[in-house]
A and B are shown apart, each in its own frame.
Chain A
C-alpha cells in the first residue's frame, strides 16, 4: 500500500483557495470543451431528427444537398416505379417529387434579409414526414399560389404568419397554414405546390425524390438498382444519412473551432496547475523527505502528487460540466452551411460528452502534475530533511 489517497485529498482541502482558483481555470477549459461537443451533438440531433430511417432521398450524383441537385421528370418517373416504394392508404405511392430553392426574405422587426428554403411539395410530402404536422390553417390547394410556413418562419419573417402574404418568385403567395416541425430543419422552410413553384422560379427539374420504403431492409437493393441504372445519374441515401452528411461541414467546423479553443485554453490551465503543484511540492519538501525516510519509495511519492493533481483536474471537470449543463437552456440559430438556410438547434448534453469532459479534465490534471510530481519523487532524502 502506498501513501493514502486522503493525504492528497486533504492537502487540496487545506489550501482551498488556491485549489478553487486552479480548478476554475480547468473548469473554464472543460466548459468550452463540453460546450463545443454539446453544440455539435445538438446540431447532429436536430439534423438526424429531421430525417426518417425508412425514407430514401434520391438526388443527383455528387450533389451534397437538394439545393445543388437536379432530378429530371423522366428520371423521377423511373424512381417512382421501383417496387420497393411503399404504397399509402389511398393506393398511391408514398413518394414526393420535390423542388427546393433558396431565397432571401426580410425578417420581422429589423427588415434584414436572411436565407429561407422554399420547398415545392407533392401530395405525399406531409405523410412522409411524421415529425411535421399542420398546426394552424390548412394545406395549400394544388394549382394555387398558396403556401404553408414553418413555425420558425411564421414567427421570425415578415409576411410569414397565417393569413399574411409573402412575395417571391415574382408573385405573391398567401400563407394558408403554419406547420410545426419540432426542432427539425423543416421549421425554417416554406412549402407550396411543386408545380406552381417550379413555374414561378422557371425550374424545369425537380431537386429530389423522397419515398418511403415498403420494407426498411430493402434499402441496399433499391439503392443498388437506382445507382446502377444507366438512365439515372442519381444517388439514393437514407434520409437520416442524408441530413447527417449535411451537418458534416458544420460538425467539422465546430470540432476544429473547439479543438483550437480548447488547446489554447488548456495550455493556460495546465500551466496553472503546474505552478500550483510546484508550489505544493516546494511547501512540503520536509514532508516528502520524512515520507521517504519512513520507507515510502519514489513511486509512492510520485503517485501521491499525481493523485493530488488528478483530484484537482477532476474538480475542475465537475465544475466545468456543471456550468456547461446550463447551456442546454440556450437555443442557437445559425446558418446551415450546406443549404445556407437558417437552422435552429440547442446544446445537448450526453453521457458520452460528460465522461469525455471528465477524462479530458483528468488528462489536464495529469499533464500539469507530472513534472512537479517527478521533482518531488526525485528529491534527495537528506537534503529534503535538512531544509526544515
Chain B
C-alpha cells in the first residue's frame, strides 16, 4: 500500500499502527484497528466505506481534532499525536483546511469575513488579509458575493465560500467530510471540479470522505474502510 501511494512522490501523511475506540458507558466500541498507510503530496484521495466504518473518525484524527489511542500520524514529517491541545490548535490553523458537509459558515459573518477568519490567527495585517481573501474568493468564483451573508447564498455557493476559507491560509492538506453530501448534482459537480483544480493547479493534498461514487470518480485514489480495517 505504502509503495503505491508514494510512487516517487513526497509522502505528506504517514499513518502507522493507528487504533481508536470510543467509550459508550462502560462499553468500548473499537472504530479503527491498526490502520497504516501513507498519502503522497498532491494526492486527491477518496475514503469510502459503509456508514459507521470509521471514515470520519480517521479524517478527524488526520486533521488533528481528535486524539488517537495508539499509533502515530506524521503530517509533513511532524508527529501530531505528540502535540498538546494548544499546539494542535496552532498547528491546524497553519497546516489544515476544513471542508464540511453542511459548510459550517458563521451565519452572522459575510462571505468575506468567513473567509478572513482563519487569517485572524496569522500575523497578517489588514491589507494583506484583504488581498488573500479576495484572491481565494476569485479562485472559487465568488468575488462578487463577498458582502453576502451565508443565508443569501445557495448551498453550492456556501460550499465554495467554505472552500475559500479552507485554502486562504495556504495549508498543505485539505480534509473534506462528504463535501457534496448536501448538494444537488450540478453544485456537487462545481465543487468537485474546484477541488480537482486545487490539486492540479495549486498542488494541494485532499482527503475526502464520501458516499458519492461520482465524487470518488474525481479522486485519483480510492480507499475503502470496512469495520475499522483499511482495504483497497
A residues adjacent to B (C-beta < 8 A): 1-4, 6-7, 10-11, 13-14, 286-287, 289-298, 381-382, 385-386, 388
CB neighbours of B165 from chain A (8 A): 294
- Show 10 A/B contacts (Cβ-Cβ < 8 Å), sorted by A: A6-B113, A287-B104, A289-B104, A290-B98, A294-B93, A294-B121, A295-B91, A297-B90, A382-B60, A385-B65
Residue in A10, A13, A286 whose CB lies within 8 Å of B109: A10
CA distance A296 to B119 in the complex (A): 11
Instruction: List chain A residues, Cβ under 8 A from B107.
Output: 14, 287
Contacting A at CB under 8 A, from B82-104, are 85-86, 89-94, 98, 100-102, 104
Q: How far is the CB of B25 from chain A (nearest CB, A)?
A: 15
Measured CB to CB, the nearest residue on chain B to A286 is B104
What's the minimum C-beta distance from B157 to chain A, rounded to whole angstroms?
18
**Chain B interface SS verdict (over half):** helix
A1–B118 alpha-carbon span in the complex (Å): 10
Which residue on chain A has the smallest CB distance to residue B108? Answer: A10
A295 and B118 in contact (CB under 8 A), knowing A11-B108, A385-B100?
A: yes
Separation of A2 and B122 alpha carbons in the complex (Å): 10
Please tell me if the beta carbons of B90 and A295 are within 8 angstroms of each other in the complex: yes
- Checking B65, B85, B113, B121 against A296 with a beta-carbon cut-off of 8 angstroms, the contacting residue is B121
Pair B93/A287 contact, Cβ less than 8 Å: no
How far is it, in angstroms, between the C-alpha of A386 and the C-alpha of B118 when the chains are bound?
21
Cβ of A293: which chain B residues have Cβ within 8 Å of it? 63, 65, 92, 98
- Give min CB distance, B188 to chain A, whole Å: 19
User: How many residues of chain B are within 8 Å of chain A by beta carbon?
Assistant: 28
- Let me know if B65 and A382 touch, CB within 8 A: yes
Q: How far is the CA of A291 from the CA of B106 in the complex (A)?
A: 9
With a CB–CB cut-off of 8 A, which chain B residues contact A11?
108
Q: Closest approach, in angstroms, between the C-beta of B1 and any C-beta of chain A?
A: 26
Determine the chain B residues whose CB is within 8 A of the CB of A297 once the complex forms.
Answer: 86, 89-90
Measured between alpha carbons, how far is A292 from B117 in the docked complex, in Å?
A: 11
- Name the one of B91, B98, B102 contacting A294, with C-beta atoms under 8 angstroms: B98
B residues adjacent to A (C-beta < 8 A) = 56, 60, 63, 65-66, 85-86, 89-94, 98, 100-102, 104, 106-109, 113, 117-118, 120-121, 165
State how many angstroms separate the Cβ of B147 from the closest Cβ of chain A: 14
Docked Cα-Cα span, A290 to B102, in Å, equals: 11
A295 to chain B, nearest CB (A): 3
The residues of A that contact B92 with a CB separation of less than 8 Å are 293-295
B93 touches A295 (CB 8 A): yes
Whole-angstrom distance between the Cβ of B148 and the nearest chain A Cβ: 14
Q: How far is it, in angstroms, between the C-alpha of A291 and the C-alpha of B118 when the chains are bound?
A: 9
Instruction: Identify the interface centre among A7, A289, A295, A297: most chain B CB within 10 Å of its CB.
Output: A295
Q: Which residues of B contact A1 (CB under 8 A)?
A: 120-121
On chain B, the residues within 8 Å of A14 by CB distance are: 107-108
Chain A: minimal CB distance from B105 (Å): 8
Q: Would B120 and A4 count as touching, CB distance under 8 A?
A: yes
Cross-chain contact of A295 among B101, B113, B121 (Cβ < 8 A): B121
Q: Give Cα A172–Cα B90 distance, bound, in whole angstroms.
A: 91
Q: Which residues of B contact A382 (CB under 8 A)?
A: 60, 65-66
Would you call A2 and B120 a contact (CB within 8 A)? yes
Asked if residues B108 and A296 are in contact (CB atoms below 8 Å), the reply is no
List, in ascending order, chain B residues with CB within 8 A of A298's CB: 85
- Residues from chain A with Cβ under 8 Å of B93 in the complex: 294-295
**Which interface residue of B56, B63, B106, B107 has the most chain A CB atoms within 10 A?**
B106
Give chain A nearest CB distance to B183 CB in angstroms.
15
User: Which A-chain residue is minimally distant from B106 (CB atoms)?
Assistant: A287
CB <8 Å contact, B121 and A388: no
Do B100 and A381 touch (CB < 8 A)?
Answer: no
Closest Cβ of chain A: how far from B77's Cβ, in Å? Answer: 20
- Top 3 nearest A-B pairs (CB, nearest first) are A295-B93, A10-B108, A290-B104
* Residues of chain B within 8 A of A295, CB atoms compared: 89-94, 118, 121
Chain A nearest Cβ from B154, distance in angstroms? 19
A287 nearest in chain B by CB position: B106
Contacts of A4 in B (CB 8 A): 113, 120
| Chain A residues with CB under 8 A of B118 | 294-295
Q: With A and B bound together, what is the CA distance between A296 and B106 in angstroms?
A: 14
B42 to chain A: closest CB distance in Å?
23
A295 vs B117: C-alpha distance in the bound complex, in angstroms? Answer: 10
